[in-house]
Amino acid sequence: MNLPRRKLLHLAAGAVAAPVVLRPACADTYPSRPVHLIIGHLPGGSADMTARLFGQWLSERLNQQFVVESRSGGSTNIATEALIRAAPDGYTLLLASPANATNASLYEKLNFEFLREVEPVAGLIRFADVVIVNPSLAVKTIPELIAYAKANPGVLNFASSGVGSTLHVAGELFKMMTGVNIVHVPYRDGAPAMLDLIAGVRR
């Protein structure tokens, strides 16, 4: 599926602004039983921490358990399909992310239409991507990083939480804007990428 750039940006903005979606609810007293909050990422990453913090807050506020359920893989498509297959009773929520917008242009065929089959409930967080390096790399600023990358094309790697993730798209934009040759290394999620970065592992 090819989307115009303006349409893609519109979808991305919508995904960031309203990151929790659910199937339409029809219960009189909500919630009267545990609610499942699905995330498309591995435990230990930023999405997992966000879901658990908000899940705990909602549990305390609504006197009902909110269960965080990880369905990682497929650039969040597995989690999204789990939401769409769930009963439309409001007891299955999804912590959506910008990947839910970019997937529409990255995958030729999806088993769902995100904008038609989900409803936004609330925006939870806004965040900025940052560049971090292992201390063994002798750069302290972005200009120093660009200079090092240009002097050593193809030597540096940049990790992301998967193809099509926010970090992947941001990394490719950084490469395009600066003209550097840095190799993308996709991980299953952000947590294992961070562990390898701290340990100085090169892939």
pLDDT of residue 128: 80
Q: Tell me which residue has tokens 């009189």.
A: 28
3-state secondary structure of 68: strand
Chain centroid to Cα 97, Å, comes to: 5
pLDDT of residue 203: 67
Distance, in Å, from the CA atom of 99 to the CA atom of 16, rounded to the nearest integer, reads 9
User: Which carries the bigger pLDDT value, residue 203 or residue 38?
Assistant: 38
Domains and CATH numbers, the chain: 5-122 (3.40.190.150), 142-199 (3.40.190.10)
pLDDT digits (tens, 9 = 90+) for 101-122: 888 888 888 899 888 899 888 8
Give the pLDDT score at 201. 83
Q: What is the pLDDT of residue 26?
A: 52
Q: Is the dihedral of CA 17, 19, 24, 28 positive or negative?
A: negative
- In DSSP notation, 161-199 reads SSTTSHHHHHHHHHHHHHT---EEEE-SSHHHHHHHHHH
Query: Measured between alpha carbons, how far is 167 from 183 in angstroms, rounded to an integer?
Result: 13
Distance from CA of residue 3 to its chain's centroid? 20
Q: Which amino acid is at 19?
A: P
Q: What is the mean pLDDT of the chain?
A: 84
35-92 pLDDT per residue, tens: 999 999 888 888 899 999 999 999 999 999 999 999 988 888 999 999 999 999 999 9
108, HSE (Cβ side, Cα atoms, 13 Å): 0
Two tokens at 87?
A: 């009963």
Q: Is the dihedral of CA 97, 68, 46, 159 positive or negative?
A: negative
The answer to whether residue 23 scores a pLDDT higher than 80 is no
Residue 34: pLDDT band with limits 50, 70, 90: very high
